[in-house]
Structure 1
């Protein structure tokens, strides 16, 4: 073998070796793919997803399925370049920068705790929304779950403090408290009126800027509801708030005579407020694919996600726009009976 041929062979081998090594190097990206679906009026591990005690319930049929997004990657388990490349090729998944899912200055354990609290809040908000739709009264208070170390609330607000008001505005829900803080500029003060044990206290905090420039004090809150009967939701490891709409519909269906679905397989997504307002979510493309794979033919879509959803809706999946829980109930009634308006998503 000539010297030139040997040099080319060695160079080619070196390039190949570097390529192989590079393919398995960790990269700061996260792969999002269709996750599992759960029928909110069905069962998980032989247990009802939604259990109601202390109130009459009615038989259900069909499916009202929540949809999820699975992810690979993150600070604790970064994916390699080869996995990212496979994701970029697959049209059913998305590859996004790691910081869009995990804020660079946040502890992953804190993010996991927030996701757990968000899921609990979502379940309670879903129950509240269903009861509001049915005109069933209940009580609610906003409580402190934890404070973030080094932030203004650290050492001043305590776990289980009941937040009565912020700057004199009644704390009617968690978002009201959050919005009151965000309305201040970083460095301005905000006054929390709280009940701690038997005492009522005014706690003054000086706000700071968060990583995205938002104003915060570093407090994690939840809404503690006192419902007139027990509603238990069992979904295993599913986290985050995006299943709220489907939880509400499942609870509503169980508490009302007749079958809301008409026997159809319906899936959907969207956050839910106690008022019944449906909010946007992330990963809509992957959630639609998961819904179609689960056999759904109808997909309830938050109004703010409609334009994005229309760009990649799977064949055979009908998108129905849902602004509120009330709208979603009316749409399902119309689909079941063939009477009434069914608002469709439109391309942006």
Structure 2
């Protein structure tokens, strides 16, 4: 004899099915999630001073007095050990001056807060070394004769590499053959740098453009691969120039000073 399947009345079946789903939503709402909230951070003029000391100090070669500004940009994010729950994240998601980002995109090294800080400072030191090598190579100057010291407190990570490099080039190209890079403007930007002058992507460019415009910049150098991100919430009055190399950046800035055509995102 065949057994009979018992069918639950429809309202009861729906209630039975919905219960575990609602339970999952409740757990998700209460569980800490691997995201951080980032906001535009401070900017710093690499042609200027930080805490009373020049950001760029050159020995072994003459330097020129520079005009304008070259501003490196940063973001500030909630700490790597902080936790956020879904209702909190939703509150930040739709704010244009904030970004909800995966924790690993901001803190890719992982580890404790102290380990991450040490990693970021190490990356900054490597970035500064690469910036000096890229600038001296671009200018065809002997690193045995010229020493470059970079000083910028309370900033970690590699994303200031491009701006450090441009600052060194601007100070060292003292014979005037190439012309000043800023043309008296406030130029901002972001991007990693390698010793051969390759510019790399960094993340958080939408927030960095906001920081740049807030602090008076009118031009922003962005790694070409991140043009679309930079354009998404571009502040009014800020011009984007895409770059893939140090040569790109220098050529574009000099063309801008001559009122020539300059690449755009």
TM range (shorter): 0.7 to 0.9
Higher strand proportion? 1
Deviation at 1:231, TM superposition (A): 1.2
Hey, what's the Cα distance between the residues in 2 that align with 1:45 and 1:55? Answer: 24
Deviation at 1:48, TM superposition (A): 1.1
1:4-83 mapped onto 2 (5 Å cutoff): 28-75=34-81, 77-79=82-84
Deviation at 1:28, TM superposition (A): 4.1
The number of aligned residues is 234
Hey, what's the Cα distance between the residues in 1 that align with 2:79 and 2:60? Answer: 43
Deviation at 1:107, TM superposition (A): 3.7
Q: 1:55 to 1:83 in 2, by over 3 A?
A: farther
Conserved 8 A contact 1:27-1:80: yes
- The answer to whether residue 207 in structure 2 is matched with residue 307 in structure 1 is no
Hey, what's the Cα distance between the residues in 1 that align with 2:51 and 2:67? Answer: 18
- The answer to whether residue 120 in structure 2 is matched with residue 115 in structure 1 is yes
TM-score, with length taken from structure 2: 0.81
Conserved 8 A contact 2:110-2:116: no
Match of 1:133 in 2: 138
Hey, what's the Cα distance between the residues in 2 that align with 1:104 and 1:115? Answer: 9
1:234 to 147, 151, 159: 151
Conserved 8 A contact 1:72-1:79: no
Unpaired stretches in structure 1, ≥5 consecutive residues: 1-22, 139-226
Deviation at 1:228, TM superposition (A): 2.5
1:269 to 176, 190, 197: 190
Q: 1:36 to 1:82 in 2, by over 3 A?
A: farther
Unpaired stretches in structure 2, ≥5 consecutive residues: 1-28
DSSP 3-state at the match of 1:240: coil
1:98-143 CA-to-partner distances (Å, cap 9, x unmatched) read 34434696344332222111100100100111001101133xxxxx
What is the RMSD computed on CA atoms of the aligned residues?
Answer: 2.3
